[in-house]
Each structure stands twice: as C-alpha cells, then as structure tokens.
Amino acid sequence: MMIRKTWLWLCVILIGSLRVMRTYGFYVNITYLESAVDIGAVCLDGSPPAYHWNMGSGAGINNWLVHIEGGGWCNNVSTCLARSLTRLGSSKQMMEQVAFSGILHDEPQYNPDFYNWNKIKVRYCDGASFTGDVENVDPETNLHFRGARIFNAVIEDLLAKGMINAENAILSGCSAGGLASILHCDKFKAFFPASTTVKCLADAGYFINSKDLFGKRRLEAFYDDVVNIHGSAKSLPPSCTSKMNNSLCFFPENVVQEIETPLFVTNAAYDSWQIKNAVAPGVVDPHGKWHDCKMDIEQCSSDQIEIIQEFRLEFIRALDGFFGTSSPRGMFINSCYAHCQTEIQETWYMSDSPMLSNKTIAEAVGDWFYDRSAFEEIDCPYPCDKTCHNRIF
C-alpha cells in the first residue's frame, strides 16, 4: 500500500511538472552540424557543434533570434579535459531536446515581441565564449580549441537556411553566452545585408574586473589563462588588444565603446555568479563564512552586505563607457541577486516579473529593439526592489 501511494504521489508531481512546462515552455529537438567537422569547427572533444531551432511563423517568418548558451569557461588542460566529458565540451553528451522559455517562448502571452520569430539556441561546447582558434591538436589530449570556427559555421549554416533574408536579427546570450554576444556583436552584423536591422542583447554577460576578498583580481588572471590556451587573441577586438593585455579584452567594459552595432545589456547589479566566483570564491573563504550568504543574499551579515554593495558600485562604474557611442544602447540593471533573466519565464515576462520603471525585461527589450522608446535604467541599491526574484541556491 505504501509503495502504491508513493508511486501515485510521484505521478502527480510528474504530471504537474509537465503542465508547468507546457505553460511556461516547450521542448525543441537538437540539430547536429556534421558538416562543420570538415572545416575543424568542433567542440572540445572533436564532436560536431549543435543548436536547437524553433521555426518562425506568420509575420515573424523573416525575423531571427540567435541565442548563445552559457556555461563558464575552461582555462587549462585539466579543466578543458574535464569539460570535454560533459555537454559543455561535447555534443555527444548533450540532451536531444532542451526547453525553450522566456525570450525563446513561442506564445505571445509569454513573449510578446519575439514569439513568432525563428529562435535558435546555440549549444556552448568550446569553453571560451566562441573565441578560440588553435590549429594544432595535441594527440595526447585530443582537445580542440575551435570556438571561433564554431560561431562562423553555425551562423553560415543558418544563413543558408534562410537567415540571409532576415528583416530583423538579434544575437543574444546568457552568461558566457552573453559575453559572446558582446564580443561577436559587430561580426554578427557583418553577415547580413545593410537592409537587415541587427541588434545584440547580452544577459548576465557583463563581467567586471572586480577584486576578491583579498584584493586580488581573480577573474583577470583566469581570463588570461583562457585566452592563452584557446588562442583567443585573434578573435578579440584589435581596437582593444592594441592598447592592453589580451585578457583585459574579455571584459565588456574594455570593448563596448568600440562596438558599432546597437547593444542592450540586462544584468543584475548583484550578479550571483560574479559574487560567488569572483568576489568570494571558496579559495579565499576556507572556513565557509560566506557560504550561507552566497546561497541566499538574505542570509548575509551586515559586513558581507557592505562588501556586496561595493561590488554593485564597481559594477556601475564599469558601465561608464557604455554610452560612449552613436549606436542606440539600452540597459536594464536591476538590484537582484540573480544570473541570467531572459531565458527564465518568471523573470522575462510574467505578472510578477522584475520591473524597472514599470516595465519587465521583455517590455524594455522590445521597446528598445523596435525603437518604440529608449530604456536606460539602473536600479536603486538592495534591498529596495521588491519585484526581484533573488536566487536561492
């Protein structure tokens, strides 16, 4: 009897979960780009790149949203080998279907401006935000650092499948994918004829060169390793690499001034990934005093909040040069403890989604893209924003 009750309860949970997914998202099959293998545009383990494509319809049939998956980076042989055994380094390890929601949703009540566009989610399997390009492959590791080739191959494949006729196109991404949408923004625009309206959207991709608890710029040192092992320098903007160390050109604050394509940035000023991994990583917190705070911002002590508030101020300072260009820019910088908000339905467009100036992220991005109105908002400090969906890990 107990086993039967347990089984019935699990069925109820499963059915409920499926109902939620049908409402807030749907599954899209994978496409493996086998032809890319011939030109060496492959994942870390040498497997073909992949993407998921939900075709457009109606008035959106000639509009294209290319969204790049996130997932951090690898910075040496050991971390890249470990990564090559996962979905973030091998298409052999990827699920056949992924859920589309938020900016990838196909119903107007959940995605009012982009629901009927062609929507592509590019899988992330190179470990360097699609910047790497090393010709030689060490036979002992079989690691391929070919992210830049993957980006080109995927875009060219989509162009051949109809994207060349796009009236509107957006390159977007989350986290490391958001960084990729910044670094490749102008390159993406160059693929299209002048008649196409092309803009870029970076979600949680504005990583800053912050100091950790000991005053060390840990992310800068990490990026230096990433750029070196992946051979990323040639994919970074020459306007930046000619003036400073290549690794510094992985930070958006050092490249956005030169980007000519219209760009919108949405980011939490208290970016949970950056606070967990750049400000208070475990290596500088051996006794775990920051553990509870990093898991839930409401558990932070007053001293910890003070440090986090300083991170916010540093983040805002890093945006100083963002509007130093003639191309239309936009930003939605809320004071939430979060990381990636456009892919998640609850934070993209729902009745209780985060808001600034009475607009959700979806409304702000839509107004900016279609030139209905500008949007350049930075939130007040934590804990003033009661619309936040703060991450609890």
Which whole number is the average pLDDT over 93-112?
Answer: 98
Is residue 324's pLDDT more than 80?
no
**Is residue 235 annotated as part of the catalytic site, yes or no?**
no
Tens of pLDDT, residue by residue over 117-175, are 999 999 999 999 999 999 999 999 999 999 999 999 999 999 999 999 999 999 999 99
Phi, psi (5° rounding) for residue 253? -60, -20
Is residue 369's pLDDT more than 60?
yes
**Is residue 371 annotated as part of the catalytic site, yes or no?**
no
**Of 271, 335, 353, 379, which is the active-site residue?**
271
Share the mean pLDDT of the chain.
Answer: 94
**Is residue 184 annotated as part of the catalytic site, yes or no?**
no
Phi, psi (5° rounding) for residue 63? -115, 140
**Of 126, 339, 353, 389, which is the active-site residue?**
339
Residue 14, sorted as left (phi over 0), alpha (psi -120 to 50) or beta, turns out to be alpha
> Checking DSSP bridges between strand 63-68 and strand 118-122, what pairing results, if any?
parallel
Is residue 83's pLDDT more than 70?
yes
Is residue 230's pLDDT more than 60?
yes
Is residue 115's pLDDT more than 70?
yes
**Of 47, 90, 91, 175, which is the active-site residue?**
175
Q: Say what the pLDDT of residue 78 is.
A: 98
Model confidence at 22, in pLDDT bands (50, 70, 90)? Answer: very low
Which whole number is the average pLDDT over 369-378?
Answer: 97
Q: Answer whether 73's CB lies under 8 Å from 207's CB.
A: no
Is residue 14's pLDDT more than 50?
no
Is residue 84's pLDDT more than 70?
yes
Asked, as a colleague might, if the bond just before 383 is cis with ω within 30 of 0, I would say: yes
Model confidence at 23, in pLDDT bands (50, 70, 90)? Answer: low
Q: Say what the pLDDT of residue 13 is.
A: 37
Q: Answer whether 267's CB lies under 8 Å from 215's CB.
A: no
Tens of pLDDT, residue by residue over 165-213, are 999 999 999 999 999 999 999 999 999 999 999 999 999 999 999 999 9
pTM: 0.93
